[in-house]
Amino acid sequence: MKILTVLTYYRPHTSGLTIYAERLARAFARRGHQVTVMTMQYEPSLPREETIDGVKIIRVPVAARVSKGVIAPSFGWVATKLVAQHDVVQLHLPQFDAPGVALRGRLFGKPAVLTYHCDLLLPRGAFNRFVNFVVNLMNNAAGIFSNHIVTYTQDYADNSPYLSRYASKLTPILPPVELPTPLPGAVEAFAYEHHVQERRPVIGMVTRFASEKGVEVLLDALPTILQKYPKAQVLYAGQHQNVMGEQAYFDRLIPRIREYESSGHWKFLGNLDPIQLAALYPNLDVLTVPSLNSTEAFGLVQIEAMMNGVPCVPSALPGVRQPVTMHGMGRVARIGDAADLAESILTVLNEPGKFKGDIESIKRSYDPDSVAQEYEKLFAKLMG
C-alpha cells in the first residue's frame, strides 16, 4: 500500500502530534508499505527531501509565517502530484492545508483519513481569535471532504465541538507509544547526574513550555508539596526556551521558576531524545500533565511513564484523563486547581502501591505495530 501522510510540522520538530506521526509512519514502513510524509520546510537548514527509517520525507519551502502556521505557495502543486501517486492519504489535524489535500483525495478517488489530535485554542487576543476562526473553518472543510476521521478516545470525541459533528465517520484508535530500552547504566547515571537520591521525590513534566500546558498550576501547587516533602524536585523535560508563540508566557513565569531553581526544587533538562527519556522515566516518582484546555487530547507522555511503572496525575480534561481512568496508574486532578493538583500528587506519593498497573498489557495496547494494523483495517475498508 502506498500511504501519503500530510502534516504541517514533522520531525525534528517536537510535539505530541509530530511524535505520533513519526511513530505511525515508521510502523507502516516496517510493515512493508511505501510511506511518504509531506510536510513544511519550517527551517531552511532542513533538507527538501530525505529518507529516514524507510519513510520518504518531502518538505515544501515556506515563504512566510502566520502565528504558528506557515504559508507555502508550492504546497498545492506538490500535494496534487503526491495524492495522485498514492493509494490512501492520511492527514494530521489541526492543519490549515488539510481541506485542499482531502479534496484532491476525492477528485483522484483516494480515501482521505483525518487523524484529529486536538481542538485549537490559541491565547486571548483579536488576532488569535481570527486565527482560531480560520483554522476551525478549514478543519470543518477537511471534515466534509474526508472519508473518515480517527481520534484517540471516544471520551475526547464526545466532548469536542468539532468531532461531535462527524460522529457517523469516526473511529477511536489508541495512539502509538514506544520507548527504547535504556542503555546499560544509563538510569543510574541519570540519577547521579541529577542528584535524584538526594532530591526525592521527583515530579516530572515532559512537554513544551506552552500556556495550555498548565505550568503555572504546578508552580502554585509546589509550596503545598514542599511542606510535606521539603527535598522534592521537578524535572522538566522539553523545549522551554524560544517556543514559537510562547515567549510572553515564559517571561511571565520564569522569575518564579528561577527561585525554585536556585533552591534545587526545579531543573530544566531541555529536549531529550528517546534514549534519554528512557533513562529519565525510571527516576520519576510521579509524572504530572496539568493541561488547561482541549489543545491537549491525551498526553502520550503518560503512557511512556506508565510503561516504566510511573503513576501519573493529569488534569480532568476529556481524553487527558483517560490513561489514568483506563489503567488505574494515578489520580486525576481538577482542571486548573493547584490545591487539588497538590493533593493528588501527594496522594500518589504517599501510597505508591495503590497505583500500580499491568505494564505489559499497556505496552501491547499502544505498540505502534498494533496501532498501524488498526489503520490498515480502516484503509482497506475505505478502499473497498
- How far apart CA 179 and CA 306 sit, in angstroms, is 11
pLDDT > 80? residue 71: no
Beta-strand runs (E) in the chain: 2-6, 34-41, 49-52, 55-61, 64-66, 69-71, 88-93, 112-116, 148-151, 170-172, 202-206, 233-237, 266-270, 286-289, 312-314
* Residue 181: inside a domain: no
Q: What is the pLDDT of residues 213-264, one digit of tens each?
A: 999 999 999 999 999 999 999 999 998 988 877 889 999 999 999 999 999 9
Same domain as 163, residue 210: no
- Pair (136, 196) in one structural domain: no
Q: How many structural domains compose the chain?
A: 2
Judgement on whether residues 124 and 208 belong to the same structural domain of the protein: no
- Cα distance between residue 182 and residue 237, in whole Å: 17
For residues 265 and 379, state if they share a domain: no
3-state secondary structure of 244: coil
pLDDT band at 326 (very low <50, low <70, confident <90, very high): very high
- Do residues 152 and 39 both lie within one domain? yes
* DSSP letter assigned to residue 69: E
Average pLDDT over residues 100-115: 96
Same domain, residue pair 338 and 373: no
Please indicate, yes or no, whether residues 218 and 163 belong to a single structural domain of this protein.
Answer: no
Same domain, 32 and 117: yes
Q: Is residue 90 part of a domain?
A: yes
Residue 66's pLDDT is what?
Answer: 67
Please tell me whether residues 15 and 157 are part of one structural domain. yes
Which tens digits make up the pLDDT trace of 250-305? 999 999 999 999 999 999 999 999 999 999 999 999 999 999 988 888 999 999 99
Establish if 223 belongs to a structural domain.
yes
Whether residue 247 is found in the same domain as residue 342: yes
Domain membership of residue 231 (yes or no) is: yes
Residues 261, 293, single domain; the answer is: yes
Same domain, 377 and 355: no
C-alpha cell at 233: 524536585
Residue span of the structural domain in which 136 resides:
2-176+367-383
Quick: pLDDT tens for 372-382. 999 999 999 99
Q: Which CATH number does the domain housing residue 164 bear?
A: 3.40.50.2000
Q: Is 350 helix (H, G, I), strand (E, B) or coil?
A: helix
In a domain, 94, yes or no: yes
